[in-house]
Structure 1
Amino acid sequence: MPGITREEVAHLGRLSRLELKDEELDHFAEQLDAIIGAVARVSEVAGEDVPPTSHPLPLTNVMRPDQVRPSLTPEQALSSAPAQEQQRFKVPQILGED
């Protein structure tokens, strides 16, 4: 597999709107080549019989089920609000929308 060239790194830099120095082009070319090689090795290992996964171990939900419990009434919740309207907290408009 041919390595990534300085010109390709410079092109990526232009696309990213990054100004790269000459020594950075060489340095990034080596690093990108190593990354591409590592990805290629992973692709070789992943076989047809291995399903794609996002996590190596199964995930389980550790949250408890919802339980109805006593809570504040709307009047209690709004009792210290600086402004309220239609049983809701009234806040200043921030997006300039109606």
Structure 2
Amino acid sequence: MNHPARNTDLGTSHAAADFIAASGIQKDQQAKAAAAVKLHPGLTSMKLAQVTGLDRYMLARRLPELLKAEQVWRGPAMPCPVSGRSACTWWPVAPGENLALGL
């Protein structure tokens, strides 16, 4: 999985990212985010946070990582039932599913 800090982030962000990755927290959060999407497919990250009790900002960091790992896919935007703003929806990927052919 990718390093959870951008090249342009400050050194403190890179230190935090190194800790998150090395400690296993990142993998644990990714597993929780993936499980939440499987239980509640098609929700925005803010609504997903509301129904699961997971931190909205943790989800905002981990869902794109799961997208790159092809464990979830970003669906169409819809008005978020929490914020009222347009937001993408998140969907689980079945094992062996080929998204490039499915879209």
Q: Taking structure 2 as the reference length, what is the TM-score of the superposition?
A: 0.29
Bigger relative contact order, structure 1 or 2 (CA pairs below 8 A, ≥6 apart): 2
Greater share of helix: 2
Greater share of strand: 2
Q: Taking structure 1 as the reference length, what is the TM-score of the superposition?
A: 0.30
